[in-house]
Amino acid sequence: MSNEDWRPQFKRLWTELVPSEGQASTTQGELIRAVGKLKDEAFRNGNQNFGNGHRILCHYVSETMLDSNVFSRTEIEEIKSSIERVLDSAHPDVLGDKTCFHYLFEMSVRWCQAHPNLIPHHQNSALKI
């Protein structure tokens, strides 16, 4: 996927799979929702409200995307690094076009493309965002 090919796909996945409120019913939708929520908190709020819910979303993204059937070892390391940068909430990565969030958006689209059959998402009762 070229640097920008993921953008329309991400928008399509968001529209089709992410509910207007609450967690998604599919793993694909929840992955897209999670990376979107994390980026929104960093870009819109400067991580002022970053809390347990955001850490839960980071764990979910990590749990879901660290998939050696989809990504190379190098890509997995970059995903891990990107999640660590998100978790460093005191220093949000919001400058430029190549932020950790953009990388996670692209990789989430690739993960969804590798899993075209929707997978049920079991909601996390501790997640309130």
- pLDDT confidence of 72, banded at 50, 70, 90? very high
Domains contained in the chain, number: 1
Helix (H, G, I), strand (E, B) or coil at 44: helix
In a domain, 81, yes or no: yes
In a domain, 102, yes or no: yes
Contact 61, 80 (CB under 8 A): no
Cα separation of 122 and 83, whole Å?
A: 22
Please report the pLDDT score of residue 97 as a whole number: 80
In a domain, 121, yes or no: no
Cα separation of 94 and 40, whole Å?
A: 10
User: What single letter denotes the amino acid at residue 2?
Assistant: S
Closest by alpha carbon to 28, among 5, 56, 61, 69? 61
Contact 86, 101 (CB under 8 A): yes
In a domain, 79, yes or no: yes
In a domain, 105, yes or no: yes
Range of the domain at 107: 6-14+25-114
pLDDT at 96 over 90: no
In a domain, 45, yes or no: yes
In a domain, 82, yes or no: yes
In a domain, 34, yes or no: yes
User: Percent of the chain beyond pLDDT 70?
Assistant: 97
User: What single letter denotes the amino acid at residue 76?
Assistant: I
Helix (H) or strand (E) run with residue 113 in it: helix 100-114
Name the more confident of 9 and 98. Answer: 9
Closest by alpha carbon to 86, among 62, 113, 121, 114? 62
**pTM of structure:** 0.95
